[in-house]
Amino acid sequence: MAIVRLSGPRAEAILAQVVRRARGEGVWESHRLYVGQAFSATDQLLDEVLAVLMKGPRSYTREDVGEIHCHGGLVVPGLVLDSCVSRGARLATPGEFTLRAFLSGRIDLGQAESVLALIQAGSAGAARLAAEGLQGALSKQVASLRKELLEWMAFWEAEFDFGDEVPRMTGGQVAGRLSRARDALQCLLAGALEGRASGEGLLTVLVGPPNAGKSTLWNLLLGEERALVTAHPGTTRDLLERPVHFGGHCLRLVDSAGLRPGGGPIERLGMNRCRQVVGQAEMLVVVLDSSLPWPRGLELLSEASRRVPTVVVLNKRDLPQRLGVRDLEDRLHCDAVVPTCLLRPEEATSVRAALLEAATRAGAGRAAGALSVNHRQWQALVRAREHLESLENGLQEGMPWDCLAVDLRLAVSVLGEITGENVTDEVLEQVFSTFCLGK
């Protein structure tokens, strides 16, 4: 089976020209499935088909939509498509139906992106996740977390603007709300991480000082010689990205330029790109040369490793050792450390296992279920977590609540980006419906 879909003001006219119904003359009834035959532009019979017209706005795009259900394969649907085009239709650009549905307000941004993920989903598991996203599993969880935060905001805002008329929040209540919100967000992130691993793929960045063996590892994991490997530090200057599948998971593996202080202009350009991609990474693989002491230039990894699952590969264990697990403490937050010698290809297996475990453990631990998220949604969730963390820091430093409210508002608005909502009005609504205000 294949479906040819038409959307737009002329959908009905084109449908009526291509398909002749077995029974029934005159107007097409909306949302009724007709049996009929499809004809080419030169009036040749193409196929026995089912056809349906869905008048806007009761359709996916809110425009008039026509569908022709014909036999599958490459030939028949192609001919039906040609016939439509010759009668004035044009081919849709990728995701255009969803774009139209989004532009007509039929679906929100979160749903639209789920549909696009569905279209692009390579594996069956990813398709299931995308279908759940469409029904709003992600939107629902985000919305409920956001609602909690909005309530909290309303308490603070009411206190700011109507001080003596509302009950004060205690420090304990603030701490309780914060920890509930952080747990909920952690849960969402875990689900999202698992979803990413089986969908579009986790953005996994290989990073470390020059000449530690990043490109060697990259080639080993991909099973091909794609990156140039030499004994000269700074060989890799641009980012290389490739998807790699193992154990039902998908990783988007990125090889990056080695980080070190100094370097020539081109090398520095490469290092800048590396820093950018580390900021976006969903998993880090830090490759270090264990025959050398802790290198300089890796400061940014200390913060990044706390944010995402991190596997440290201690390469060159065949040489005299000058860097051990102890040296990593305080510098990196590692989920796993793998001492290895990448000169021996069979050693890549242990790295692979560690990667797999880090990705699943981070995802599976508390996930209520895997969630289909794209990169934009993932970034929004991560930013929401950063805002809550910064709120927590401020709370510990004894910052006043109007400062902390900056982070709270940002967390709410970042979560709102996933579904698309305005903060100020909602807070005021919440304030007025919760409290009896006004002297």
| E strand or H helix that includes residue 172 | helix 171-198
Query: Using CB under 8 A, which residues numbered 134 to 163 contact another protein?
Result: 157, 159-163
422 binds another protein (CB under 8 A): yes
Closest approach of another protein to the CB of residue 192, in Å: 21
H or E, element range at 420: none
Spatial separation of the C-alpha atoms in residues 267 and 235, rounded to whole Å:
9
Within residues 82-121, the interface with another protein by CB under 8 A covers 100, 102-105, 108-109
How would you classify residue 208: left for phi > 0, otherwise alpha for psi between -120 and 50, otherwise beta?
left
Structural tokens at position 243:
């998807």
Q: How many CA atoms lie within 13 A of 27 on its CB side?
A: 5
Minimum distance of another protein from residue 14's CB (angstroms): 19
Residue from 33, 175, 228, 437 binding another protein (CB under 8 A): 437
Q: According to CB under 8 A, which residues from 370 to 399 bind another protein?
A: 394, 397-399
Residue 352 and residue 78: Cα distance in Å, rounded?
43
> What is the C-alpha to C-alpha distance for residues 266 and 241, in angstroms, rounded to an integer?
19
* 30 secondary structure, DSSP code: B
Q: Which two tokens stand for residue 77?
A: 């649907």
The DSSP-derived string for 93-132 is PTTHHHHHHHHTTSS-HHHHHHHHHHHH--SHHHHHHHHH
Query: What angle, 0 to 180 degrees and rounded to 10, lies between the N-to-C axes of helices 109-120 and 137-162?
Result: 160
Q: Which is nearer to another protein, 238 or 402 (CB)?
A: 402
- Pick between residue 49 and residue 414 the one whose CB is nearest to another protein: 414
Tell me, by CB under 8 A, how many residues bind another protein.
Answer: 40
- Choice between 50 and 405, CB closer to another protein: 405
What is the nearest approach in angstroms of another protein to the Cβ of residue 330?
20
* Interacting residue with another protein among 26, 171, 261, 438 (CB under 8 A): 438
Stretch that binds another protein, among 72-80, 195-203, 332-340, 406-414 (CB under 8 A): 406-414
Give the type of residue at 282: E
Pick 155 or 218: Cβ nearer another protein = 155
Nearer to another protein, 110 or 213 (CB): 110
CA distance 254 to 282: 11
For residue 54, what are the β-bridge partners? 65
What minimum distance in Å lies between the beta carbon of 30 and another protein? Answer: 21
Residue number with CB closer to another protein (329 or 425) = 425
Q: Give 209's DSSP letter.
A: S
Binding of residue 428 to another protein (CB under 8 A):
yes
Report the residue from 29, 48, 165, 303 that binds another protein according to the rule CB under 8 A.
165
Instruction: Please return the burial class of 343, using the count of CB atoms within 10 Å of its CB with bins 0-12, 13-18 and 19+.
Output: exposed
**For residues 233 and 394, which CB has a smaller minimum distance to another protein in the complex?**
394
- Shortest Å, Cβ 74 to another protein: 33
**Binding window for another protein (CB under 8 A); candidates: 119-127, 242-250, 268-276, 430-438:** 430-438
Taking the complex as a whole, how short is the minimal distance between the CB of residue 430 and another protein, in angstroms? 10
Nearest CA to 130 out of 113, 105, 107 is that of: 113
Give the integer Cα–Cα distance in Å for 341 and 348. 9
Q: Which of 164, 329, 330, 346 binds another protein (CB under 8 A)?
A: 164
Residue 235 is inside which H or E element, if any?
Answer: none
Residue 73: exposure state from Cβ atoms within 10 A (0-12, 13-18, ≥19): exposed
Contact call for residue 432 and another protein (CB under 8 A): yes
**Residue 174 near another protein by CB under 8 A:** no
**In the bound complex, what is the minimum distance in angstroms from residue 92's beta carbon to another protein?**
15
Residue 44 vs 393, nearer CB to another protein? 393
Distance CA 214, CA 261 (A): 18
Nearer to another protein, 172 or 420 (CB): 420
Look at residue 341 and give its three-state secondary structure. Answer: coil
Interface with another protein includes 249 (CB under 8 A)?
A: no
User: Which residues here bind another protein, judged by CB under 8 A?
Assistant: 100, 102-105, 108-109, 157, 159-165, 394, 397-403, 405-406, 409-410, 420, 422-425, 427-428, 431-432, 436-439
